[in-house]
């Protein structure tokens, strides 16, 4: 069965620090990859997505992610975090167009000002 692993359960950073959240998936075929963010008290929002093409994708709010097929990874990065980035981050995989997503367990990011 497919699975998604997010290595960091809770990350604590100071403002302006760089961020990298790991995500690995287990599926041998073609996949679509997503990062979602859930700010406190709010619903899920799409940060960025990868379907095909350039493996480095840019999303909203300065986030980017790199798809490395050989490593089955899709790590999320941001060069300089802000206090407002404090949220829960979920990596998700979709193995067929239009189908449901398989989510990782999520990473809680806490940014101190």
Partner 1 sequence: SAVISQKPSRDICQRGTSLTIQCQVDSQVTMMFWYRQQPGQSLTLIATANQGSEATYESGFVIDKFPISRPNLTFSTLTVSNMSPEDSSIYLCSQTRGGNEQFFGPGTRLTVL
Kindly list the residues in this chain that would bind partner 1 in the complex (CB under 8 A). Answer: 32, 34, 36, 43-44, 46, 49, 51, 90, 94, 97-106
User: CA gyration radius for the chain?
Assistant: 13
Q: Specify the residue, 14 or 30, whose C-beta has the smaller distance to partner 1.
A: 30
> C-beta of 98: minimal distance to partner 1 in Å?
5
> C-beta of 46: minimal distance to partner 1 in Å?
7
The two most distant CA atoms of the chain are separated, in Å, by: 42
> C-beta of 16: minimal distance to partner 1 in Å?
28
Q: Specify the residue, 46 or 68, whose C-beta has the smaller distance to partner 1.
A: 46
* Cβ neighbours of residue 109 closer than 8 Å, sequence gap 6 or more: 11, 13, 19, 21, 81, 85, 86, 87, 88, 89
**CA dist., res. 42 & res. 56, Å (int):** 27
Distance of CA 86 to the CA centre of its chain: 14
Q: Specify the residue, 27 or 103, whose C-beta has the smaller distance to partner 1.
A: 103
**CA dist., res. 34 & res. 15, Å (int):** 25
> C-beta of 23: minimal distance to partner 1 in Å?
12
Q: Specify the residue, 17 or 101, whose C-beta has the smaller distance to partner 1.
A: 101
């Amino acid at each position: 069965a497919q699975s998604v692993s997010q290595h960091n359960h809770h990350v604590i950073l100071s403002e302006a620090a760089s961020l990298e959240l790991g995500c690995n998936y287990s599926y041998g075929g073609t996949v679509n990859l997503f990062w979602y963010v859930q700010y406190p008290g709010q619903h899920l929002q799409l940060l960025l997505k990868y379907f095909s093409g350039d493996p480095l994708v840019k999303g909203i709010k300065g986030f980017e992610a790199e798809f490395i097929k050989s490593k089955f990874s899709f790590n999320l990065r941001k060069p300089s975090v802000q206090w407002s980035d404090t949220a829960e981050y979920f990596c998700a995989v979709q193995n067929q167009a239009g189908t449901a997503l398989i989510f990782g367990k999520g990473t809680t990011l806490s940014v101190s000002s």
